[in-house]
Amino acid sequence: SFHLGRNIPGVRGLRPRAMTRAERLHFVPKRHTLPDHMVKKTRSNMPLLDAATRVRDRAYAPYSCFKVGAAIRSIEGNVHVGCNVENVAYPEGTCAEAGAIAAMIASGDTRIAEVCVIADSPEPVPPCGGCRQKIAEFAAQDVVVTLCTTDGKSKQMTVAALLPGVFTAAHMDRS
């Protein structure tokens, strides 16, 4: 913003307003901001498979070389993506599905409407047991989960079929 002053050559009466201390502390130059896909929700008509395929390329899998991408559409219509991130301490890695769920929650959405997972494998790869439980936490039992390969094979199943006998909060109730 500008205020009256005489310090800009060729501009009469205007000069940039100096930033306050608080503005300087929170100022991040444009070149240092994160890409939009990492910081904002996107209301998208893009198929989930396209989103999962693109994020799969960003997976960090130097040990297994098994890259996985996941895309979730929330009930609000926003698309959230995640990829697997390995760690040399092998069990400390994160799955693509868990990353997409974390991105959904971080953005403020809380319910899953649809899931798509893609991996380079001969047959569609289902989520691990932990991710099945995570998906069931935020999705209704009739939500469709699409499992895809990079060769074009796909399989669709519901959350109920993916995780029969799901553990829910009701199991902790005492009658």
Residues annotated as catalytic are 97
Rounded to whole angstroms, the Cα distance separating 111 from 83 reads: 19
For residue range 27-47, what is the model confidence (pLDDT) as tens digits? 444 433 344 444 334 444 458
Q: What is the pLDDT of residue 175?
A: 60
Positions of E strands within 34-168 = 42-43, 68-74, 78-83, 112-119, 139-149, 154-158
Return the CA Rg of the chain.
22
For residue range 113-139, what is the model confidence (pLDDT) as tens digits? 999 999 999 999 999 999 999 999 999
Q: What is the pLDDT of residue 64?
A: 93
Predicted model pTM = 0.72
pLDDT-derived band at 54 (thresholds 50, 70, 90) equals very high
**Helix runs in 47-173, H state only:** 48-56, 96-107, 129-138, 159-162
Residue 41: strand, helix, or coil: coil
Nearest to 112 by CA among 96, 95, 136, 133: 136
Tokens of residue 86, six digits: 């390995």
Q: What is the pLDDT of residue 43?
A: 46
Least confident of 3-7, 17-21, 155-159: 3-7
Bigger pLDDT: 59 or 15? 59
pLDDT-derived band at 109 (thresholds 50, 70, 90) equals very high
Percent of the chain with pLDDT over 70: 73
Q: What is the pLDDT of residue 113?
A: 97
